[in-house]
Amino acid sequence: MSTLVTGGAGYIGAHVVRLLQERGEQVVVVDDLSTGDASRIGDTPLIVLDISKDEAVRVLTETMIDYDVDAVIHFAAQKQVGVSVKRPALYFRQNVGGMANLMSAMYDAGVRDAVFSSSAAVYGQPDTDVVSEDSPTNPINPYGQTKLIGELLLADCNHAWGLNYIALRYFNAAGAGWVDLADPATLNLIPIVEQALYDGNVPVVFGDDYPTPDGTCIRDYVHVLDLAKAHLVALDALREGTVKNRSFNVGTGSGSSVTEVLETIRNVSGWDFESKVADRREGDPAVLVADCQALELALGWKAELGLEDIVESSWNARQAGPKPVKVPAAD
């Protein structure tokens, strides 16, 4: 038996693929390589495919049968919130259409277990600082809407033909489990700061007048390796039949402010760089932290790594890559 990982050449997906292989599992990856990199998965079987295309159901079904797939971990999706606002049809076609094709292929191939990469974006702008799975789902952008629709599709497939699923609602994934698996995008705070330093720019803090202890936004940063391990725990639960058909938050249960993140980067890098403050960005809540008790109680998963681990692993991966940051010599 083997596990099919869609989007397995991407940032989080590649971490999951490596963990699966380290414990001796057979894995096949489906990825269109639009943002993924085949070098991240070594000699793992790779099917280059855009799962939103018309031929995807046939190719996915054949792949599941040929590789004796018994479970799917689904990452493949567009994920830039800003782009989703400008190009909603693209996001619905890729994220919802692609997932519908995947569900059709799973039905045709007789595969019944799926772990889904969802997002805290399904909550929109919560009324509370700490968000539990019981909080209202009210996404405020097309990206979050596609993730919520994905969860609804899973529930409908469960009702229709017995699909078993676990959806994981990520908060702020960051860091690197291995130096060759750094976050390739500059969409999140830590890689954005690293890129600014590489480019010789001053990192920007958007707003320092929030109702938080230091005035900057607070977010729940979860190490990508902890996040990847949560997928394996979910996969095992589905295969064993102990937990199924639920959505869980994945975070640490505690938050770090933008100022705290910048200070940690300074400590890790040894560079006391400057930052500058700009106006708040529209739609940024002051505090957004995950309540992760449900996941711990149901599956025994709990984040083991903290902010310093995240920043240190991200910085080390950046410095080991092709574009290391040149840190000025100390005075």
The answer on pLDDT for 52 being more than 80 is: yes
Where along the chain do its domains lie? 2-173+222-250, 175-220+252-320
Q: Do 261 and 221 contact (CB within 8 A), yes or no?
A: yes
| CA within 13 Å, CB half, 33 | 9
Residue 170 makes CB contacts below 8 A (sequence gap 6+) with 12, 117, 118, 119, 120, 222, 227, 250, 251
Of 214, 213, 195, nearest to 203 by C-alpha is 195
For the cut 80, the answer to whether the pLDDT of residue 210 exceeds it is yes
Containing 74, the helix (H) or strand (E) segment is strand 69-74
Beta bridge partners of 157: none
Amino acid (1-letter code) at residue 215: G
| Maximum C-alpha span of the chain | 67
Please check the confidence at residue 211 and state whether its pLDDT lies above 70.
yes
pTM recorded for the entire structure: 0.95
Angle at 164 between CA 49 and CA 72, to 5 degrees: 25
184 pLDDT higher than 90:
no
* Per annotation, catalytic residue among 67, 123, 143, 165: 143
CA dihedral (84, 90, 94, 99) positive or negative: positive
Instruction: Decide whether 2-173+222-250 matches 175-220+252-320 in CATH topology.
Output: no
Q: What is the pLDDT of residue 60?
A: 98
Residues 198-202: contacts with CB under 8 Å, at least 24 apart: 198/318, 198/323, 198/324, 198/325, 198/326, 202/273, 202/274, 202/275, 202/276
Mean pLDDT of 83-94: 90
Given a cut of 90, whether residue 4 has pLDDT beyond it is: yes
Q: What integer is the mean pLDDT of 2-13?
A: 97
For the record, the structure tokens of 121 come out as 């974006």
Specify the pLDDT at position 97.
97
Assess whether pLDDT exceeds 90 at residue 280.
no
| Residue-level pLDDT at 331 | 63
Mean pLDDT over all residues of the chain? 95
- Report which of 55, 49, 58, 6 is spatially closest to residue 28, judged by C-alpha positions: 6
Work out the average pLDDT over 67-76: 98
What does the pLDDT look like over 23-36, one tens digit per residue? 999 999 999 999 99
Determine the average pLDDT of the residues in 258-263.
Answer: 97
Of the pLDDT bands very low, low, confident and very high (cuts 50, 70, 90), residue 61 is very high
- Fold of the domain built from segment(s) 175-220+252-320: UDP-galactose 4-epimerase; domain 1 (3.90.25)
In the three-class reduction of DSSP (H, G, I as helix; E, B as strand; rest coil), residue 77 is classed as coil
Provide mean pLDDT across the span 135-141.
Answer: 92
Helix axes 258-269, 307-320, angle to 10 degrees: 50
Q: Tell me what the mean pLDDT of segment 58-66 comes to.
A: 98
Q: Band the pLDDT of 283: cuts 50, 70, 90.
A: confident
Amino acid, single-letter form, for residue 191? P
CATH number among 3.10.580.10, 3.40.50.720, 3.40.50.300, 1.10.150.120, domain 2-173+222-250: 3.40.50.720
Question: Where does 110-154 show beta strands of DSSP type E?
Answer: 113-119, 130-131
143 included as an active-site residue:
yes
Q: How confident is the model at residue 205 (pLDDT cuts 50, 70, 90)?
A: very high
Name the nearest CA neighbour of 17 among 39, 49, 34.
39
Question: Residue 104 in contact with residue 54, Cβ under 8 Å?
Answer: no
Give the helix/strand (H/E) hosting 264. Answer: helix 258-269
Rounded to 5 degrees, φ, ψ at 190 are: -65, -50
Place of tokens 């729940």: 220
| pLDDT in the model for residue 55 | 96
Task: With H, G, I as helix, E, B as strand and everything else as coil, classify residue 111.
Answer: coil
